[in-house]
């Protein structure tokens, strides 16, 4: 299996790449952080050039399993969001995954098999005050996954979205620092009173690409320590 994990240099992406078996390919902006992998592509998915470069890489390496993990979080009142931020987050969190899927699908169709997993967010499920741009991009990813699951089902290709809550990563910690609440206050609102560990997300990915999960497609799976269950 040829598996591509975008944003594999740290956090959730690294946990996924390190826990899967097969020919692992990954990408990122910092080559130093990717040198532990045999196969990697240096690119910036917030740019058209970076998207196209990774698209070519996908076709050249005949990717069977695509895991769209790369993304960024922004916490800001709506009136302070500029056009450049809108373009950056939308391209990285939504446009890039869709473009990469478009480049991976032709080969998957010839094989009558493929697995696509998008890393969303519970912010795209519930919405998050102060993170409307991030929530919008992740909500769009969830909707696209459902539509594509229908479009690709007859070809043996499944596509699902995993929506993490607060995750114990550098991005999770920085996101907490940017919010108006302390990390302790955030944890107090989580039913399990903890952040999710990246390995838990990797475990869900491992299941979704397995033969046991061949009937699971178009699903939006919340992995959030109970945060989406209500009060």
Q: CA 192, 197, 201, 206: dihedral to nearest 10 degrees?
A: -120
Element housing 208 (H / E):
helix 198-208
All residues at 6 or more sequence positions from 52 whose CB lies less than 8 Å from its CB, including other chains:
none
Catalytic residues: 134
- Residue 160 has what DSSP assignment? E
Neighbouring C-beta atoms of residue 52, cutoff 10 Å: 13
- Cβ–Cβ under 8 Å, residues 204 and 162: yes
- Residue 167 has what DSSP assignment? B
- Cβ–Cβ under 8 Å, residues 21 and 206: no
CA within 13 Å, CB half, 104: 30
């Amino acid at each position: 299996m040829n598996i591509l994990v975008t944003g594999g240099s740290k956090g959730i992406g690294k946990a996924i790449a390190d826990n899967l078996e097969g020919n692992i390919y990954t990408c990122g902006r910092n080559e130093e952080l990717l040198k532990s992998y045999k196969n990697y592509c240096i690119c910036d998915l917030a740019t058209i050039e970076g998207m196209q470069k990774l698209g070519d890489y996908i076709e050249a390496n005949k990717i069977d399993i695509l895991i769209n993990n790369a993304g960024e979080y922004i916490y800001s009142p709506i009136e302070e969001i500029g056009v450049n931020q809108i373009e950056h987050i939308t391209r990285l969190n939504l446009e890039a995954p869709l473009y990469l899927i478009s480049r991976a699908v032709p080969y998957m169709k010839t094989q009558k098999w493929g697995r696509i997993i998008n890393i969303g967010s519970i912010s795209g499920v519930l919405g998050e005050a102060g993170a409307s741009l991030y929530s919008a991009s992740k909500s769009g990813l969830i909707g696209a996954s459902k539509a594509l699951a229908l479009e690709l089902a007859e070809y043996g290709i499944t596509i699902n979205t995993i929506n993490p809550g607060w995750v114990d990563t550098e991005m999770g910690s920085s996101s907490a620092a940017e919010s108006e609440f302390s990390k302790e206050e955030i944890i107090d609102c989580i039913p399990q009173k903890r952040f999710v560990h990246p390995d838990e997300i990797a475990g869900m990915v491992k299941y979704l690409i397995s033969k046991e999960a061949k009937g699971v497609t178009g699903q939006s799976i919340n992995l959030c320590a109970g945060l989406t269950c209500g009060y």
